[in-house]
Chains A and B, each alone.
Chain A
Amino acid sequence: MADDKSNATAYWKANLRLITGCMIVWAFVSYGCAILFRPLLSGIPVGGTDLGFWFAQQGSILTFIVLIFFYAWKMNRLDQQFGLGE
């Protein structure tokens, strides 16, 4: 049982680490690139405007899609690795 427990704890910690990483990217592209850092990115032109505008109207959505698939794929591997999948 003790092994089961530490295995489960390790799985959960790995999940939390993964979530934290993904959340940093999530916040960085939307609140960062698209809103707060937009003035800093204004020097990078994208089709008649700047990179921040692109992130606000396209880039963050595309990143969100990639993030979810990455998370789902990575979690499937964790599920198997720790023997906690279905």
Chain B
Amino acid sequence: MSQFAINVLFVGGSFAIYIGIAIWAKAGSTKDFYVAGGGVHPITNGMAIGADWMSAASFISMAGLIAAGGYANSTFLMGWTGGYVLLAMLLAPYLRKFGKFTVPEFIGDRFYSKQARLVAVICLIVASVTYVIGQMAGAGVAFSRFLEVEATTGLIIAAVVVFFYAVLGGMKGITYTQVAQYIVLIIAYTIPAVFISLELTGNPIPPLGLFSDHAESGVPLLTKLNEVVTALGFNEYTADVDNKLNMVLFTLTLMIGTAGLPHVIIRFFTVPKVADARWSAGWALVFIGLLYLTAPAVASMARLNLATTIYPEMAGQVENMEEAATNPILYEDRPEWIRTWEETGLISFQDLNDDGRIQMYNGNADFTDRGWEGNELTVNNDILVLANPEIANLPGWVIGLIAAGGLAAALSTAAGLLLAISSAISHDLIKGSINPNISEKGELMAARISMSVAIIVATYLGANPPGFAAQVVALAFGIAAASLFPALMMGIFSKRVNNVGAIAGMLAGLIFTVVYIFVYKGWFFIPGTNNLPDTPDNWVLGISPLSIGAIGALINFAVAFALSKATQEPPQEIQELVESVRYPKGAGMAVDH
């Protein structure tokens, strides 16, 4: 069977499962649509959170980011998992106890203010739309690479499948497809990783292989990797970072941003009890951890593999690494997988010194003494995961699995985001403001229509990504960290923070963060409109625009507390509401309105 046929089989098979689930899990009520009926088991929910959370970026790009940045990019690993500790202890159980359907609804009720709810809706939509564009674009790319169709055609096929289960089933359909998608994506991710780890270190468990000896040379894998990359002019892979302040703030921004992202929070509303919300967070992190503990192993192994493919003499026991680095392979002799990926443009070669060999090294380093005139092989970071099976010579079905896995990661996250967006529109805007007397049936219809519109908009933007789409980390995490997370946390842990404080705090955090990002990245991300170049020398105290969300959160807390102190305390019934979310007793009754 041809590779194409295998890919079609795997992707088609997984899509058939999702559509089957859609038909089985049809939403009959708004409760089904928004919170999957509220009866999801915590382990099931943990898996669904895993798929909801792990996006195309986690599946495809993260290992590449770590491979390129080494220790410095461990921030993504800690940042994108540490948020679950915050969710489990600071938000999820209490928001579950509150027992309503959306995140803005809690903010609106707790701060007894429609304006507060509206600010939350705007933050939610900006963060989620930015996020969803990347997923749709990612799905398009996966389609075009593995199924040989135009990216736009692929995107439309993906959108139709999402339409099926998200519009029909709402959260109910999404929950069970996410479970299936988690299983597909985790198998697809770990199988190639196990083989690579086995090949390089003899240890079948990648996280252990990462700290084992490199089989061919007998030295520890990471020592080997450090030697190899330094001989090619790069920093040591495990080198420490000078700017610790920025590293801390970036990790913190990712953590509180994770905890404040509405599409993750609403998944905790689907379990029956408060205790289940806590357990779900634990299970979620177990399932997420399977991929996140594997990713750094994939990263270093793939980077070493790539280097020793180009410089075969570096692989074994090497006396003189510098000398081994002078003898890369001939371009003609390049392995098959490089040829395949050259067609996609994700790998490209340019023979700068006309010697027919591939000099791959840090292009900023000066190796004219070796007769090198610049880095000749440009490798897109995403390749490391996508080409993993080919690099490790795995059979064709593993490649088919990667295709299905990448799509599962993109679509499951997209569906979660689309639900967060559509429920904010139908529940917070339409039922909350425009037409509070809407019937249950009417609201369900409104939810389905909002979902359909959201899918169409996301598909369009995925095919024609605007400039801000590439700024997911800055925009989505910055906003969630600076505006939503502090408001939610104060709503639970302080009885004193009132409507004035909360609104002013959210706006202060949001505006501060967004302005700081715009100053370096351009106003509304329009190229050339930035006031200062986006380089470390220009950042205030060395804080990058990606790390500023944590400072924005601090400002949000400070403004909210100061203004609340200066104004009237919240009315009695609001203080009682805060009391009630703190105690699990009676959660069953609080559901519905």
Q: Which A residues contact B (CB, under 8 angstroms)? A: 8, 11-12, 15, 19, 22-23, 26, 30-31, 34-36, 38-39, 42, 46-50, 52-54, 56-58, 60-62, 64-65, 67-69, 71-72, 75-76, 79, 83-86
Contacts and interface: CB of A to CB of B under 8 A. Distances in A.
Contacts, number: 139
B282 A68 contact: yes
Contacts of B66: 57
B449 interface: no
B219 A48 contact: yes
Contacts of A46: 211
A60 B83 CA distance: 12
A8 B579 contact: yes
Contact of B77 (A57, A69, A85): A57
B584 A47 contact: no
A21 to B, nearest CB: 10
13 contacts: A15-B582, A19-B90, A39-B240, A47-B212, A48-B211, A48-B223, A49-B223, A49-B238, A53-B74, A57-B66, A61-B78, A67-B85, A68-B89
Interface stretch (B179-187, B273-281, B307-315, B530-538): B273-281
A12 B138 CA distance: 44
B227 to A, nearest CB: 10
A58 B85 contact: no
A48 B78 contact: no
Nearest to B300: A57
A74 B367 CA distance: 59
A58 to B, nearest CB: 6
Among all A-B residue pairs, the 6 with the closest Cβ atoms? A48-B220, A47-B211, A56-B74, A48-B222, A72-B278, A48-B223
A50 B492 CA distance: 40
A53 B238 contact: yes
Nearest to B88: A68
Contacts of B84: 64, 68
Contacts of A48: 211, 219-224, 226, 238
B587 interface: yes
B58 to A, nearest CB: 13
A14 to B, nearest CB: 12
Nearest to A72: B278
B411 to A, nearest CB: 25
A50 B239 CA distance: 10
Interface of B: 66, 71, 74, 77-78, 81-82, 84-85, 88-90, 93, 207, 210-212, 219-224, 226, 238, 240-241, 244, 247-248, 251-252, 273-275, 278-279, 281-282, 285-286, 289, 292-293, 296, 579, 582-588
A85 B204 CA distance: 43
Contact of A58 (B293, B585, B588): B293
Contacts of A62: 289, 293
Contact of B275 (A22, A38, A39, A72): A72
A65 B82 CA distance: 9
B78 A34 contact: yes
Given A35-B244, A57-B77, A57-B210, A47 B221 contact: yes
Nearest to A83: B585
Nearest to B286: A65
A19 B582 CA distance: 13
A56 B71 contact: yes
Contacts of A84: 583-585
A67 B87 CA distance: 12
Given A8-B583, A53-B71, A68 B285 contact: yes
Contacts of B275: 72, 75-76, 79, 85-86
A16 to B, nearest CB: 8
Nearest to B89: A19
B296 to A, nearest CB: 4
A60 B78 contact: yes
Contacts of A8: 579, 582-583
A79 B238 contact: no
Contacts of B74: 34, 53, 56-57
